[in-house]
């Protein structure tokens, strides 16, 4: 079910523990004032546009604007039946009220509540309780352990991994067994950590950001085959690699949240040239490639305006000629064994 109808129905993704997401999900990080302050009316209109376009999966996190993304999404969802949306959020942080926000999260705005990193059992339960209050609901469908990776924790990663498996994972198992959530998993920036979690516990779903895209395929031979073997559905985020696969190889283009280095700019320029030769826009090819792998259930794209939602939906609807993939393979720009549409 969706909140509205479109002339061209949104394609359905692959199942996640019995849930049936749309092929494209909505990523809520930008609603937390990620790169700049977003007007409330625009934020609400963007979520409404996503639902109206047939996007049935919405992903958010306490981290995104320190609760602001969840607040905004919860407000928008109060105008639609709760069961018309697959709602995903995360644990690993809870918010402390009444203290200065000095944790350097990088969000331009957001709520004035600093995050406390906590992967304990009680910390996960506290995080979910706060999320449910912000979202205005009594349950979420997908619950992920967030950011247990080197990218986030550096030298403390091993300690955080142990804490998460001993604490947050046990909490998520209980929540799944009592029906509070339907699917449990992790959301990280590194495919190696997805592999570690997949071997350490019984997970339904994992969100991987940035490590399987038209630009880089680090998860192709390790995590994604393991996900298929263990029936773990994959939610792909960051398929534009922080922007460069949306903007192309332009001055100031971002890769991994920083200005792209010369080698990345050069590779993207080559990919872009092949796409142009086939009349395909680079941001059209990127989600098409990412969603083709059989382990991928849905590709989660962020947006901050209804126009961006419209653009994302239109990109998915356009077919990509098979010759494009052949030429990318011939040029050594994607692996020969990478699945394509």
Give the active site residue among 64, 169, 212, 255: 64
Tens digits of residue pLDDT in 74-91: 999 999 999 999 999 999
Of 1.10.460.10, 1.10.10.10, 3.20.20.100, 3.40.50.720, the CATH number of 24-330 is 3.20.20.100
Q: Mean pLDDT across the stretch 197-217?
A: 97
The CA-atom distances, in angstroms, between 39 and each of 31, 49, 55 are: 9, 15, 22
257 is known as an active-site residue:
no
Distance CA 196, CA 321 (A): 36
Give residue limits of the domains in the chain.
Answer: 24-330
> At residue 102, does pLDDT exceed 90?
no
What is the SS3 string spanning 309-338? HHHHHHHHHCCCCHHHHHHHHHCCCCCCCC
Q: Worst-scoring range by mean pLDDT, 27-36, 51-60, 128-137, 289-298?
A: 27-36
Give the active site residue among 33, 59, 149, 204: 59
Contact 167, 124 (CB under 8 A): yes
Task: Identify which of 104, 126, 101 has the alpha carbon closest to the alpha carbon of residue 114.
Answer: 101
Q: Mean pLDDT across the stretch 18-33?
A: 95
The CA-atom distances, in angstroms, between 323 and each of 214, 216, 334 are: 15, 20, 13
Q: Against a cut of 0.85, is the pTM above it?
A: yes
Give the active site residue among 33, 35, 41, 90: 90
- DSSP state for residue 216 in the 8-state scheme: -
| Cα 130–Cα 133–Cα 139 angle in degrees, nearest 5 | 95
Average pLDDT, rounded, for the chain = 93
pLDDT at 101: 54
> At residue 2, does pLDDT exceed 50?
no
Cβ atoms < 10 Å from Cβ of 278: 16
- DSSP state for residue 32 in the 8-state scheme: G
The model's confidence at residue 108, banded by pLDDT at 50, 70 and 90, is confident
Q: Mean pLDDT across the stretch 199-212?
A: 97
Distance CA 223, CA 221 (A): 7
Structure-model confidence comparison of residues 208 and 112, the more confident one: 208
Tokens of 66: 């320190």
Distance CA 132, CA 60 (A): 12
> At residue 37, does pLDDT exceed 80?
yes
Task: Identify which of 249, 240, 246 has the alpha carbon closest to the alpha carbon of residue 216.
Answer: 240
> At residue 107, does pLDDT exceed 90?
no
64 is known as an active-site residue:
yes
Q: Where are the alpha helices (DSSP H) in the chain?
A: 40-52, 68-77, 121-135, 150-153, 157-163, 169-177, 191-200, 223-229, 244-247, 262-277, 282-291, 306-317, 322-330
Distance CA 255, CA 248 (A): 11
The model's confidence at residue 270, banded by pLDDT at 50, 70 and 90, is very high
pLDDT at 334: 98
> At residue 203, does pLDDT exceed 70?
yes
Show Cβ contacts of residue 233 under 8 Å, excluding neighbours closer than 6 positions: 14, 15, 16, 17, 183, 204, 205, 206, 227, 295, 297
| Cα 63–Cα 46–Cα 276 angle in degrees, nearest 5 | 95
59 is known as an active-site residue:
yes
The model's confidence at residue 3, banded by pLDDT at 50, 70 and 90, is very low
Contact 243, 233 (CB under 8 A): no
């Amino acid at each position: 079910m969706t909140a509205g109808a479109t002339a061209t129905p949104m394609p359905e993704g692959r199942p996640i523990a019995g849930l049936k997401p749309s092929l494209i999900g909505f990523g809520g990080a930008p609603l937390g004032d990620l790169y700049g302050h977003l007007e409330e009316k625009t934020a609400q209109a963007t979520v409404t546009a996503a639902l109206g376009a047939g996007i049935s999966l919405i992903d958010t996190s306490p981290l995104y604007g320190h609760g602001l993304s969840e607040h905004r999404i919860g407000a928008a969802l109060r105008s639609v039946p709760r069961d018309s949306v697959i709602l995903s959020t995360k644990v690993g942080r809870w918010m402390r009220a009444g203290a200065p926000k000095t944790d350097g999260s990088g969000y331009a705005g957001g709520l004035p509540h600093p995050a406390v990193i906590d992967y304990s059992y009680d910390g996960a339960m506290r995080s979910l309780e706060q999320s449910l209050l912000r979202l205005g609901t009594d349950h979420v469908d997908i619950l992920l352990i967030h950011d247990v990776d080197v990218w986030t924790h550096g030298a403390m990663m091993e300690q955080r991994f142990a804490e998460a498996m001993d604490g947050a994972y046990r909490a998520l198992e209980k929540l799944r067994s009592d029906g509070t959530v339907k699917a449990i998993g992790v959301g990280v920036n590194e495919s190696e950590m997805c592999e570690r979690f997949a071997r350490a516990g019984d997970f339904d779903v994992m969100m991987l950001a940035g490590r399987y895209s038209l630009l880089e395929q680090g998860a192709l031979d390790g995590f994604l085959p393991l996900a298929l073997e263990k029936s773990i559905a994959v939610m792909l985020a960051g398929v534009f690699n922080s922007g460069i696969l949306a903007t192309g190889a332009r001055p100031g283009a971002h890769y991994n949240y920083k200005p792209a280095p010369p080698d990345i700019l050069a590779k993207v320029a080559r990919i872009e040239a092949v796409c142009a030769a086939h009349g395909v826009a680079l941001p059209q090819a990127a989600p098409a490639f990412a969603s083709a792998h059989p382990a991928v259930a849905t590709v989660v794209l962020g947006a901050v305006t209804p126009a961006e939602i419209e653009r994302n939906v239109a990109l998915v609807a356009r077919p990509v000629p098979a010759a494009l993939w052949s030429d990318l393979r011939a040029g050594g720009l994607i692996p020969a064994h990478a699945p394509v549409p």
